A and B are shown apart, each in its own frame.
Chain A
Amino acid sequence: MLNTITAPTTPLFDTPPMFAHPARVTAIKDEAYATATYEIEFEDDDLKQHYAFRAGQFNMVYLPNIGEVPISLSSDPAKTGVMGHTIRYAGNVTRAISRLRVGDTVGIRGPYGTAWPLERIHGNDVCIVTGGIGLAPLRPVIYHIINNRSDYGRVYLLYGARTPIDMLYTEQFEDWEAHGIEIHQTVDRADESWKGHVGVVPMMFYHLRLNPKKTTVLTCGPEIMIHFVIFEALARRIPKEQIYVSMERNMKCGIGLCGHCQFGPTFVCKEGPVFAYAAIEPFFGVEDF
């Protein structure tokens, strides 16, 4: 087993693995340009009550006659009955999702994949570093930390976006800060009306004084951003064993059968998407991997 962390894929129900369960869109909230959060509930009450996921996992979201996409869960794992998916409209399926309205039906199978190691890092400081829509799979981490605040030390969120209007969940930041999460926002470009930081998100490490022995870094975003985040974390003597990344690959089946998401000797959908950096270091950043 390549990965060294957390839960394997959780078989949801006693049904064939590719079976998508009908679920209804119950709310849609615009988050940023071409990005919205969909709240979805299973139509079957039994499924609705028993579905559970862990921060970092994803569902396969299916639209009949169009296709299926893997989408990270972005809602509170402690909240049962409703699944939140923050979706950026970028391809055929997600553009079709953008035409859904409240009350429409989709197919859901999941949850799949590994989770962030939130129990393993009890007592640690946590540095969450993310950019763009990469905050979506990390928002459940923030909910979990807030729900279990005394289990963690200092918590930092370093969040980057292209421009100020591309930032997700900004209306929640005040509440997160009230729960002791230190937020450093930055954008790649802005006009003079922006009073926050300008610069790429790995540069936000320069504003922190971390204790490398007790800091865990959790990062998700464009792979090239992750490279730079790891570089900065290692430069601050944070051991590679304390760095976790969520990888994005072209996932199709979600259960490690089709091979589309192969990453080195592993399948991202099954042994990821969350990996301990130490486990993938040999082939992380290797060209064409």
Chain B
Amino acid sequence: MSPETALETFQELAFTRDMDPAVLEHLAALAFEVNFAEGQWIFRETDVGELVYLIKEGKVALSISVPGQGRKTILTLGPGQILGWSSLFPTGRKTASARTVTPTKAFAFNAAQLREAMDENRDLGCALLWAIADVIAGRLKATRLQLLDIFAPSEMS
């Protein structure tokens, strides 16, 4: 995959499409494409991951193993969504497991390289931090709603 091809795709994906072209060019130079078969584990919780992914095609389930209850899927991610962002932060330990639901293509970034690039290129750093903050805020919002269990059977008429 050439950086030009990656750039074109970034301009379509929700996570990146509003970023400045120069930022996207820098990102494209750091990205490499990875493919996963259906049912393949991408990483498991507690792994210390080195890679961060931006999903291009397919669907990935995030799950947590609950002792005594088995594995619970907590969220699925699709095209334009990032996966494994915890690798960007200290410890880099994954907080959930990721397994493909359908064959999946993604862009992968080495987390250490990406951090370095974010430090050197402040435009890139700022754009990525805003985008990641938006993702985290969205997932926090969704988790709150999920916790409310709004579709639980009601005893009210």
Contacts and interface: CB of A to CB of B under 8 A. Distances in A.
Q: Do A and B assemble together?
A: yes
Interface of A: 33-34, 69, 90-94, 131-132, 160-162, 166, 186, 188-192, 194-200, 202-203, 206-207, 209, 221-222, 224-225, 228, 231
Interface string B129-157: 00000000010011001101111111111
29 contacts: A33-B153, A90-B153, A90-B155, A90-B156, A90-B157, A91-B155, A91-B156, A162-B149, A162-B152, A166-B151, A186-B76, A189-B72, A189-B73, A192-B63, A198-B61, A198-B73, A198-B74, A198-B75, A199-B146, A202-B141, A202-B145, A206-B14, A206-B78, A206-B80, A206-B138, A221-B150, A225-B145, A225-B150, A228-B141
Contact of A34 (B149, B153, B156): B153
Contacts of B74: 198-199
A190 B151 CA distance: 14
Contacts of B61: 192, 198
B130 to A, nearest CB: 14
A207 B148 CA distance: 23
A34 B101 CA distance: 30
Contact of B146 (A33, A195, A200, A209): A200
B148 A224 contact: yes
B102 interface: yes
A190 B153 contact: no
Interface in B76-131: 76, 78-81, 101-102
Contacts of B80: 206-207
Contacts of A222: 150-151
A166 to B, nearest CB: 6
Given A202-B142, A207-B79, 16 more contacts: A34-B153, A91-B155, A91-B157, A92-B157, A131-B150, A132-B150, A162-B149, A162-B152, A189-B73, A191-B72, A192-B73, A194-B73, A195-B102, A203-B142, A206-B14, A224-B150
Given A206-B81, A222-B150, A195 B157 contact: no
Contacts, number: 85
Nearest to B155: A90
A197 B145 contact: no
B70 interface: yes
A209 B153 contact: no
A267 B63 CA distance: 44
B59 interface: yes
B151 A188 contact: yes
Q: Enumerate the 3 nearest inter-chain pairs by beta-carbon distance, A residue then B residue, closest first.
A: A91-B157, A162-B151, A132-B151
Contact of B101 (A132, A195, A200, A228): A195
Contact of A188 (B78, B149, B153): B149
Interface in B38-52: none
Contacts of A203: 138, 142
Most chain B beta-carbon neighbours within 10 Å: one of A131, A198, A222? A198
Interface in B53-80: 59, 61, 63, 70-76, 78-80
B100 to A, nearest CB: 11
A36 to B, nearest CB: 14
B73 A190 contact: yes
A197 B141 contact: no
Contacts of B73: 189-192, 194, 198
A220 to B, nearest CB: 13
Nearest to A189: B72
Contacts of A225: 145, 150
A34 B157 CA distance: 13
Contact of B145 (A198, A206, A209, A224): A224
B54 to A, nearest CB: 13
B42 to A, nearest CB: 15
A90 B152 CA distance: 11
Nearest to B81: A206
Interface in B10-45: 14
B151 A161 contact: yes
A192 B71 contact: yes
Contacts of B142: 199-200, 202-203
A19 B45 CA distance: 62
